[in-house]
Structure 1
Amino acid sequence: MKSVDDQLYQVFLLRLWRNRTDAPWRATLESGEGSTQHHFATVQELARFLETAVAPPTDDSQ
């Protein structure tokens, strides 16, 4: 379950790179406090992660 602060504000450091001009973009997303990193082989994987990170909380009690 996300804390109230996580529901209101999130900070990430995003790094994007590719090994060649014809290679896909890769990404690393680091939490604002630097405690966790997530690595992505494609921009689509990054987008899916961000969609989940900012999704409204679900109420499992119903």
Structure 2
Amino acid sequence: MTIRPSPKPGPVPSPLPKGLVCPKCGCQHFEVLSTRGAPSGAVRRRRQCRHCGRRVTTVERPVG
């Protein structure tokens, strides 16, 4: 009889997708239409969903 160690549990997959999700169709594929910087260091990007064409604006702020 061979005793095998129990497998280590791996990371549990999150039920929520990571990253930006289109509010209209749920797709995660976007193209960047324009990018603008701000004096505070933030970056505004205008993005368009490649599936349905919905446009969204994201603001990226530096951490720290």
Same fold, TM exceeding 0.5? no
Q: Which structure is higher in strand share? A: 2
Q: When you count helix as a share of all residues, which structure comes out higher?
A: 1
Instruction: Answer with 1 or 2: which has the greater Rg.
Output: 2
Highest RCO, 1 vs 2 (Cα 8 Å, sep ≥ 6): 1
Q: TM-score, normalised by structure 2?
A: 0.34
What TM-score do the two structures reach when normalised by structure 1? 0.35
